[in-house]
Amino acid sequence: MIETIIFAGIIIAIIAVATFRFYSNPKQPLKKPEKQSGEAVPGDDEPLLERYDKDQIVLMVRDPEWLYAYWEITATKQKQLSQQLGNLWQSSSPALRIYEVNQNNGHNNEIFFDIKVNEGTRNWYIHVGKPNQSFFIDLGRLLSDGSFLPILRSNLVTTPSNSFSQEIDPQWPPVEAIWAMLREQDYLDEFYGSLESAKER
């Protein structure tokens, strides 16, 4: 009996000491690893590049009804266009031309609409309102005579469907399909018949 009490007292003392030491020592903040010369430290909060000095426009799908585009026109490209067009460039305004793509015939350049964007803008959300449809866009300038001058062309994207797929994975059929299959193969009749037999017993 005495040995048990002594053993329990030792355990309680160990727990008490460990608890006291844990709460009495202030937590030391983690030190950020020192950056060696010429070596990048992960999480160094280096800013992302705002420009990549590349003439490009990238089109992305946000959801079944919206697209997102971002682009860059380098200073060299803008200078070339300004010199080529002269006053036409100064009087023009930036715009996006959104093309629908006919899946049967490829690019259908007759179905499009324009969106005027602000000068200096480098990205835009585009409402197309057409699920399961392919699109590409041109970034260009709307001239004073109403014509459109394309500068950059994007990649092709397809908006997803906004309805449930009609295709059924054979490994994961819906419950309704399982019951229909059981009815067709008379499994339900056999099952209910076996239940009736069990009740009669």
Say which amino acid occupies 112: F
pLDDT digits (tens, 9 = 90+) for 103-131: 665 555 578 999 999 998 999 999 999 99
Domain with residue 113: its CATH number is: 2.60.40.10
- Does 183 map to a domain? no
Question: Would you put residue 51 in left (φ > 0), alpha (ψ -120 to 50) or beta?
Answer: beta
- Does 70 map to a domain? yes
- Does 35 map to a domain? no
Q: How many domains does the chain have?
A: 1
pLDDT digits (tens, 9 = 90+) for 152-196: 999 999 999 988 766 666 666 666 666 676 667 666 566 556 656
Inter-residue contact 70 to 122 (CB < 8 Å)? yes
Range of the domain at 151: 56-158
- Does 4 map to a domain? no
- Does 163 map to a domain? no
- Does 18 map to a domain? no
